[in-house]
Structure 1
Amino acid sequence: MGVVFSKSLFVKQTFLTLVLAIVLSLVSSAFQFFDGISEQKAQINQHFEELLAVVEKPLSEAVFRLDVAFAQQQVNGLLVSPSISHLEVRDESGRLFVEATAAKRDFYLPEFFTNYFLVDLETYERELHLERPAFYAGNLYLWPEKRYLLDAIFKEQVSVLIYNLFKDVLLACLLSLVFYFLVTYPLMRLTESLSSAGYNEDIPLPKSFHRYHKSDELGNLYTTFAHLWKKLHKALSDLERSDSHSKATIEHAADGILLLDESNKITLVNSTAENMLKMSEDELKSSPLKALHTSSSWPDFLEVLMNLNLGSPQTVEAVYQIQGVELPVEIRLAKYRIQSRVETILLVRDVSERKEAEAHIHRLAYYDSVTNLPNRQYLSDKLLDVLKNLRATKASSHAAVVFMDLDRFKIINDSLGHNVGDQLLCSVASQLESVVKDNIVFARMGGDEFAFLLSHLGDDKRRVEKVIETFIRRVIYACQQVKKAGHHEVHITASLGATIFNGDETSAEAIFKQADTALYRAKESGRNTFALYRTEMQAISDMRLEMEKALHHATEAKLFELYYQPQTNDKNQLIGAEALIRWKDEHKGFISPAVFIPIAEEIGLIVEIGQWVLDESLSQVATWLKEGKWDPSWRMSINVSPIQFQQAGFLPMLKEQLEKHEVPSSCVDLEITENMLFNDLNSSLEKMHAIKRLGVHLSIDDFGTGYSSLKYLKSLPIDRLKIDQSFIRDLLTDKSDEAIVLAVIAMAKALNINVLAEGVETLVHFDRLHEMGCFYYQGYYFGHPVPPKEFIAQFVHDLPTQSPSS
């Protein structure tokens, strides 16, 4: 027996199986190890990109609002993940906005492992953008904790390697034992039995079999009975295993499974279906399939079920009725034949979460997140539907689109904050819902722009126009009511433009353009009014669009230039100059600032233009000081737009410009209008005091034309009032203007404030102002605005030479 065992295939098979199992396990584990690291890197990259995508919008809004606390809360929330070591948020200029660093931790693996395996895992960066308004807010930087990530990867991969090695060795041992007990040992027993039986018995084996297998175990087989028995036993084992697998698959499937017979009665149910449908297997088997469906869902499903062909699966959506609650489901149907029977299997999946997600996506796509009103896309789709209906019916019925802009909203938004602005928009939306009827779609187009789509207005265009005008007046009246926005009571008005159409228009965008054109006409008419679109307005709209394009080009290419108008005292001595912007277009020549400055304010270019004016004028003063052509006691008057003044970065920008050009702050006089104080006096006062602490002078320009001058004048830290030229022009002929000028001079004298009169054009005006006690002047009588070289040539004479430090 020992001799036979030593020569058997079992020893060879066992040895080779163990060696091969160990080698293959190590090789496959090594490949799996490095492949696992690559997969983990991909998952890490995806994980960090998803984290950055989640916080991109809130961080963009936080940077836009300068909300450091909210931004810090967002990055601290990210730092909860142990896979992050450091976070930074930098604004659009690269300055650090907020940052957060994880606490120091100890790791098992040395650092050179990290540098080897995760050398390509670098810092993650995400640009921060806002869609509305379009704004580049800065960047978010994320540094991963590589040693933590590698620790996790190693723990997982090493466990897998050990598990695979143990599994493969164990499998090899089991295979060897199976081979021994199923093949070698039975063969040895059979050999012994056959040996005892002798060789005289008729053994049904061919002679060739004895010739080729005489020296091994197979040569000792004397019958095929044992071989057939083993095959039968193995087949039965496989069948039982397959049956067990099928039952486990059905029972533990994530989808509910219902098996139908040829009569479409339920014959098999898994536990997932029981839980989903809240019914036991017995209840489901005793219930007709129709009882699961809602009345509206069953006919379509039954049609699919009846027409289903063998081997042609289909997927349909249906609605189940579960204990009075509707459950949207997705059903995969497959019909097949088993022996002589035809069965149908239904794989039922609960898609309620997916439906909710689709509804949420639909709301994001078609509704405004601030006011919950329909958005521009929704209104465009509805307008297309109205146009299709008008064209399909070929009726002469009319519809209309009305655009509405809130007047001065940008100033309110910038001065009181975007939160207050959003609350104001919500208040307007809520108040206007009272004027919206069934045939009206009310939408927010973006920013402070709203729109109305009115349909089924009738055939008579004149009557339709009256209906539109009545509706618009109701909207204007609603907008004029006091609005609550946070702790503020805000007064606001609206400008509206409307266009009436009957389906002949080419596209929805063409109708929108007409309404927009009418809106601009209303704004040009003084705001807080409305205009109906007329064909001749389009040319004006095109001219404005052309002006906007040209203004953008001029701003980018710095095509502006500064002229300087002298300011003198009563002895005709120069006391300074006012820097006045000029724009000479290559096609239209000089364009008045009164024309392009309001447009620049509306399209958001005024801040950039104002910064250029400040930079250019201070550069000119610096040059004249070095050349000894500017007395340090003179002031350069520079106009500041209300929008630019309300910017959070105005004061830092002013400091930067003064330091850049090394101009004494006493040489600078900023001219602001009193209207900018109307929105937020406290914030404006704080900024004005900060400017005064820099040593810069402050003047109120166009004094007397605003709303709050007399009320707040005593609290303003100003050095000079500039009487508007409209009062000076008719000073000699209009007693009212004369009284106003006298009152301003007397009031300024009582408050110890200097007064400068603008628009002094004749000697008679000069003499009268001198008699009234005004001793500082600016106007054509003393000099027109001229370029820098001409200003020096005309107005600077016999100036004592100044040292560069003076």
Structure 2
Amino acid sequence: MGVVLSKSLFIKQAVLTLALAIVLSLVTSGIQFVDGIQNQKTQINQDFEELLAVVEKPLSEAVFRLDVSFAQQQIDSLLFNPTIAHLEVRDESGELFVEASAGQRNFALSSKIAEYFLSDLQTYDRALHLESPVFDAGHLLVWPEKRYLLDKIFKEQLSILIYNVFKDLLLASLISLVFYYLVTYPLKRLTESLSTVGHNQDIPLPKSFHRYHQSDELGNLHSTFSSLWKKLNTALSDLERSDSHTKAMIEHAADGILLLDENNQISLMNTAAERMLKNRSDMLQSRSLETLHTASSWPVFYEVLIGLKLNEPVTVETTYRIQGIELPVEIRLAKYRVQDKIETLLLIRDVSERKETEAHIHRLAYYDTVTGLPNRQYLANKLGDTLKSKVQHSHYSAVVFMDLDRFKTINDSLGHNVGDLLLKCVAKQLSSLVEDNVVFARMGGDEFAFLLTHIGNNKEPVERAINGFAESVMYACQQVKTAGHHEVHITASLGATIFNGQEGSVEAILKQADTALYRAKESGRNTFALYKPEMQAVSDARLEMEKALHHATEFKLFELYYQPQTNDKNQLIGAEALIRWKDEQKGFISPATFIPVAEEIGLIVEIGHWVLNEALSQVAIWLKEGKWDLSWRMSINVSPIQFQQASFLPMLKTQLEKHDVPARCVDLEITENMLLNDLTSSLEKMNAIKAMGIHLSIDDFGTGYSSLKYLKSLPIDRLKIDQSFVRDLLTDKSDEAIVHAVIAMAKALKISVLAEGVETLSHYDRLREIDCFYYQGYYFGHPLPPKEFIAEFVHD
């Protein structure tokens, strides 16, 4: 039955319809059969009553007459009726009068079945009674033949049953046929159409289907299927596009993509991963990730991979080994479940460039780009680590600051490229002094530093060791350095501080070393100073000076005083512009005090620009007022740093044009030491200045290191003998000899000479005697502000 019901819908419907028809037919026939038996029983009872009524009177009379043969004859005649099995006639006393039994007959049904169905059909008992004369003759007892009766009933009902079954089967067949043409066949055609329809096609059905089934359930089913098919086509198209899109994204992703199966073996990789790993996907298929990792990185990564939870992505950094080369990578891991399977997705990014950038940034942050040495931040960090060290409290360490003497002059005169080469040379040479407990760093500019850790636990030997170290550094710096095509002689000043962790912060220790360095510079350079507590006051004063100097420069708090320059006839030939600074609290501060500071902190160029602008402005005013003769010169000092600036000549020309001052009224004073740094560049600049019509003088001549070879080639107009020689001219034969030599040399070179520091008549007389005819000093006048200068020295 199960096989039958697994067939087509029509067979299922036909079988079930026929089976149901048979069952219903049998049920109805059974009901009819039971009802027929009841009806037959009633009819049998009625027939027996009628039969007994016929023989009642004859039998009553035969009993009354005691006519046995007649009575026997009567009951024998009754046996011709097949429905009677046995008869008895009993008299009024119950004695058997006559009896008769039907002969042996064969029936299809057994007595038990007949008794089961006709159990309520009992023996018939008919009283025999005569009315005239009145006489109770006895009883007639009749036993029905139940087998015959039941067989008769069955035969009658069987024909009814067969008729009903045939009728019901015929009806079921007709219903099945109608169902087939109305439902099964159209449904079969619809199914066949659905099975043959292609992607993005309509369901192919004949027009008759739509004509006959447009409004019924099959039509609705077709409409529903059509709608679902369109949605399915749309979903399939979207799915195909999504799948193509996903594949395209995977294949064209910049990051490498690996997919691991439940056993953490590679099941998929994209093109980017193949390029990154330099391996084809089929070569790595079903292989473990361990083959990609370095031996040290795999255990750590494996722990992350094993501990990865579902839908909780993790990003890790690890190292692959690709063809013998280590490749740093960043991996985004995500574990998820797809159709009862667990997969792990790896998004792999090559971070070698980032690592190189980070290393570069780290080097930029902690190393000097010029020398390659650690920088200030690196040394400060190491110093901080030293202070935190437990060993530090029982051992002394030291910080040594070093500053190259005259480096600014060299850098400005020879150029920054030469300066950088010199710094590299110094760094390379001093690196040989660095041991395991020494950090050598460039702090910035020309300043270097050494951190010497855990030198010893006794302060005096430590101080001696630091002194010895400083001497070796200074000796190394004194050796001739080659910077490009230049041989440079340079010295260094050093300052150091010793500490054992009790001195406080990193900043405090660095400040102490810087203070000691400043003290060394004050002591004449090329020397070494060890920090003492009393130095701090000097350092603080220096810091205050720097702050005040910045303030004065920003708000132009300087003034220009003018000191007259005269000839041997006591005639004014010009003046020197001298800067003065009057502090609100300290009063006048000597230029000898603040000019070196201005040079060190980089303010000298701005101050020099202001001096030039102010002096030319004052000359312009005096020229307009007729108080300045065109033959007079305004002497203006130019710092070596300012002179070496590339913008100096354009600025000088702009200032002359701005104030409309004749160039012959200007005399620029430069120091002879400036010429040693870069004679070629200085000579070009001096010739350009001379070409503009400006005079040039060498200030403080005799205190530097000029040679006659250089001097004869310079386009200068005047030498100014330093006041240190003039002051002792009358008492020191050496100074007199120097002055004589300078005047004689200048005369031979046709250069005029002006003596500074002429303070007495005796100085004046002696200078005239040795052919010096131009003077400047207190004997002729002190420096004065503009108004006082005009009132004192310029006469209408």
Same fold (TM over 0.5): yes
Indicate the residue corresponding to 2:305 in structure 1: 305
Residues 242 and 397 of structure 1: CA distance in aligned 2, closer, same or farther (over 3 Å): same
1:192 aligns with 2:208: yes
Whether the 8 Å CA contact 2:470–2:528 is kept in 1: the answer is yes
**Alpha-carbon distance in 2 for matches of 1:224, 1:720:** 114
**Alpha-carbon distance in 1 for matches of 2:245, 2:750:** 98
Indicate the residue corresponding to 1:707 in structure 2: 705
1:307-329 superposed Cα distances (whole Å, 9 cap, x missing partner): 22222121111112223221212
Greater CA deviation, 771-780 or 344-353?
344-353
Indicate the residue corresponding to 1:294 in structure 2: 294
Indicate the residue corresponding to 2:511 in structure 1: 513
Whether the 8 Å CA contact 1:194–1:222 is kept in 2: the answer is no
Offset of residue 479 of structure 1: 1.5
SS of residue matched to 1:678: helix
Largest Rg, 1 or 2: 2
**RMSD (CA atoms):** 2.9
**Alpha-carbon distance in 2 for matches of 1:356, 1:308:** 29
Whichever residue aligns with residue 492 of structure 2, its letter is A
SS of residue matched to 1:555: helix
Whichever residue aligns with residue 650 of structure 1, its letter is F
Indicate the residue corresponding to 2:539 in structure 1: 541
SS of residue matched to 2:517: helix
1:263 aligns with 2:279: no
Whether the 8 Å CA contact 2:199–2:233 is kept in 1: the answer is no
SS of residue matched to 2:789: helix
SS of residue matched to 1:721: strand
Residues 541 and 281 of structure 1: CA distance in aligned 2, closer, same or farther (over 3 Å): same
Indicate the residue corresponding to 1:408 in structure 2: 406
Residues 529 and 225 of structure 1: CA distance in aligned 2, closer, same or farther (over 3 Å): closer
Indicate the residue corresponding to 1:91 in structure 2: none
1:745 aligns with 2:727: no
Offset of residue 560 of structure 1: 1.3
Indicate the residue corresponding to 2:428 in structure 1: 430
Whether the 8 Å CA contact 1:258–1:347 is kept in 2: the answer is yes
Indicate the residue corresponding to 2:790 in structure 1: 792
Offset of residue 259 of structure 1: 3.3
Offset of residue 717 of structure 1: 2.0
Whether the 8 Å CA contact 1:402–1:496 is kept in 2: the answer is yes
Whether the 8 Å CA contact 1:190–1:220 is kept in 2: the answer is no
1:482-520 superposed Cα distances (whole Å, 9 cap, x missing partner): 222222111111222222222234322222222211111
Whether the 8 Å CA contact 2:576–2:636 is kept in 1: the answer is yes
Indicate which of 754, 769, 772 corresponds to 1:771: 769
Indicate the residue corresponding to 2:466 in structure 1: 468
Write out aligned runs for 1:480-491 (5 A): 480-491=478-489
**Alpha-carbon distance in 2 for matches of 1:762, 1:241:** 106
1:66-111 superposed Cα distances (whole Å, 9 cap, x missing partner): xxxxxxxxxxxxxxxxxxxxxxxxxxxxxxxxxxxxxxxxxxxxxx
Whichever residue aligns with residue 501 of structure 1, its letter is F
Whichever residue aligns with residue 296 of structure 1, its letter is S
Whichever residue aligns with residue 541 of structure 1, its letter is S
Write out aligned runs for 1:75-224 (5 A): 186=203, 189-193=205-209, 195=211
Residues 763 and 294 of structure 1: CA distance in aligned 2, closer, same or farther (over 3 Å): same
Offset of residue 469 of structure 1: 1.9
**Alpha-carbon distance in 2 for matches of 1:693, 1:241:** 81
1:220-243 superposed Cα distances (whole Å, 9 cap, x missing partner): 767977777777788777777766
**Alpha-carbon distance in 1 for matches of 2:685, 2:476:** 34
Offset of residue 261 of structure 1: 3.5
Whichever residue aligns with residue 607 of structure 1, its letter is V
Whether the 8 Å CA contact 1:703–1:709 is kept in 2: the answer is no
**Alpha-carbon distance in 1 for matches of 2:239, 2:670:** 93
Residues 662 and 511 of structure 1: CA distance in aligned 2, closer, same or farther (over 3 Å): same
Whichever residue aligns with residue 365 of structure 2, its letter is A
Offset of residue 347 of structure 1: 2.8
1:727 aligns with 2:732: no
Whichever residue aligns with residue 368 of structure 1, its letter is D
**Alpha-carbon distance in 1 for matches of 2:486, 2:275:** 54
Indicate which of 635, 650, 658 corresponds to 1:652: 650
Whether the 8 Å CA contact 1:265–1:289 is kept in 2: the answer is yes
Whether the 8 Å CA contact 1:191–1:221 is kept in 2: the answer is no
Residues 191 and 438 of structure 1: CA distance in aligned 2, closer, same or farther (over 3 Å): same
**Alpha-carbon distance in 1 for matches of 2:593, 2:734:** 29
Whether the 8 Å CA contact 1:190–1:221 is kept in 2: the answer is no
1:380 aligns with 2:387: no
Indicate the residue corresponding to 1:619 in structure 2: 617
Whether the 8 Å CA contact 2:393–2:502 is kept in 1: the answer is no
Write out aligned runs for 1:55-74 (5 A): none
Indicate the residue corresponding to 2:113 in structure 1: none
Offset of residue 335 of structure 1: 2.1
Offset of residue 417 of structure 1: 1.5
Whichever residue aligns with residue 316 of structure 1, its letter is V
1:381-415 superposed Cα distances (whole Å, 9 cap, x missing partner): 222222222xx446322222222222111111111
SS of residue matched to 1:395: helix
SS of residue matched to 1:457: strand
Write out aligned runs for 1:364-379 (5 A): 364-379=364-379
Whether the 8 Å CA contact 2:200–2:233 is kept in 1: the answer is no
Offset of residue 775 of structure 1: 2.1
**Alpha-carbon distance in 2 for matches of 1:453, 1:288:** 50
Q: What is the percentage of aligned positions where both structures have the same residue?
A: 76
Offset of residue 588 of structure 1: 0.2
Whichever residue aligns with residue 360 of structure 1, its letter is H
Whichever residue aligns with residue 352 of structure 2, its letter is S
Greater CA deviation, 732-741 or 337-346?
337-346
Whichever residue aligns with residue 420 of structure 2, its letter is D
Residues 273 and 689 of structure 1: CA distance in aligned 2, closer, same or farther (over 3 Å): closer
Whichever residue aligns with residue 624 of structure 1, its letter is W
Greater CA deviation, 447-456 or 333-342?
333-342
Offset of residue 619 of structure 1: 2.4
**Alpha-carbon distance in 1 for matches of 2:685, 2:234:** 92
Write out aligned runs for 1:488-507 (5 A): 488-507=486-505
Residues 264 and 623 of structure 1: CA distance in aligned 2, closer, same or farther (over 3 Å): closer
**Alpha-carbon distance in 1 for matches of 2:656, 2:236:** 95
**Alpha-carbon distance in 1 for matches of 2:388, 2:609:** 50
**Alpha-carbon distance in 2 for matches of 1:718, 1:268:** 84
Aligned length: 600
**Alpha-carbon distance in 1 for matches of 2:643, 2:516:** 31
**Alpha-carbon distance in 2 for matches of 1:248, 1:788:** 85
Whichever residue aligns with residue 314 of structure 1, its letter is V
Whether the 8 Å CA contact 1:431–1:478 is kept in 2: the answer is yes
Offset of residue 582 of structure 1: 1.1
**Alpha-carbon distance in 2 for matches of 1:668, 1:647:** 19
Gaps of 5+ in 1: 1-179, 200-204, 800-806
Whether the 8 Å CA contact 1:191–1:220 is kept in 2: the answer is no
1:357 aligns with 2:357: yes
Indicate the residue corresponding to 2:179 in structure 1: none
Whichever residue aligns with residue 325 of structure 1, its letter is I
Indicate the residue corresponding to 2:348 in structure 1: 348
**Alpha-carbon distance in 2 for matches of 1:225, 1:762:** 127
Whichever residue aligns with residue 521 of structure 2, its letter is K
Offset of residue 251 of structure 1: 5.0
1:731-790 superposed Cα distances (whole Å, 9 cap, x missing partner): 121111111111222222222222222112222222222222222222222222222222
Write out aligned runs for 1:271-290 (5 A): 271-285=271-285, 287-290=287-290
**Alpha-carbon distance in 1 for matches of 2:226, 2:664:** 115
Offset of residue 421 of structure 1: 1.6
Residues 636 and 299 of structure 1: CA distance in aligned 2, closer, same or farther (over 3 Å): same
Normalized against structure 2, the TM-score is what? 0.70
Residues 610 and 254 of structure 1: CA distance in aligned 2, closer, same or farther (over 3 Å): closer
Normalized against structure 1, the TM-score is what? 0.69
Whichever residue aligns with residue 192 of structure 1, its letter is S
Whichever residue aligns with residue 369 of structure 1, its letter is T
**Alpha-carbon distance in 2 for matches of 1:674, 1:231:** 97
Offset of residue 720 of structure 1: 1.9
Offset of residue 463 of structure 1: 1.9
